[in-house]
Amino acid sequence: MIPRVLTVAGSDSGGGAGIQADLKTMLALGVHGMSVITAVTAQNSLGVQGAWELPAAAVRAQYRSVVDDIGVQAVKTGMLGSAELVETVAELISGTDAPAVVDPVGVSKHGDPLLAASALDSVRTKLLPVATVATPNLDEVAQLTGVRVESEEGMRRAAAAVLAYGPRWVLIKGGHLTGDAVDLLTDGSAEHWLRAPRHTNRHTHGTGCTLASAIASGLAKGRCVPEAVTAAKEYVTGAIAAGFALGAGIGPVDHGWRFRA
């Protein structure tokens, strides 16, 4: 049977991030993608013009509908918005026998807030403890832990601060640093430094969603965490290099770059 991956995230009407990016990534990597929509956004290449959160009951019903009938080999979370949704999703994941990749989405590529400040504590105490892999970028690390990273060495402190909340592994994404695109994957003992050339392409909308979905896809295929993350890094690096202009602002990465290579 084709491995099945469930994304729990917001919808991006522009198609570059969120549920749309997740499903495109899953298709490109050979798994069956399924979705639980947590919010609907009015969003394009210029930013987020509006967001409407779904009721917790609707999120729970979508999740149960998929998991109880079809089953999943991995779950990925993205935009959750409120403390109520964070806690609802954390409870659902804790009762699901599948690895979970948690992308603690705080703001959009354009700086628009996608997580209420009142939800941060729920992310720390409810969601991160049920994560197989947490994938914060440096801004999200600062938001969750107060640790500000300005160098590769600082990524170790960031990883330790996030691991203290309970995820089995953390991937600290160093894309906001200068030099090569460097990420640190660790479970507190083993360290894996993942490096790739930094592409100057400005069309990078959806990178975080794409990376987390690619990791979940690898886990659903039975890969261990380091193997899944390494393969996901390779995929998203190619997608960034092939990112294309769309609208008047920041375009998306190309989820189908391997088909067009």
Question: Which residue numbers are catalytic?
Answer: 173, 204, 206-209
- Burial class (CB within 10 angstroms; exposed 0-12, middle 13-18, buried 19+) of 173: buried
Beta strands in 62-125 (DSSP E): 74-77, 100-102
Residues 4, 32 contacting (CB under 8 angstroms):
yes
Give the whole-angstrom CA distance, residue 119 versus residue 142: 15
Give the whole-angstrom CA distance, residue 255 versus residue 242: 9
Q: Give the count of alpha carbons within 13 A of 219, CB side only.
A: 26
Give the whole-angstrom CA distance, residue 222 versus residue 199: 30
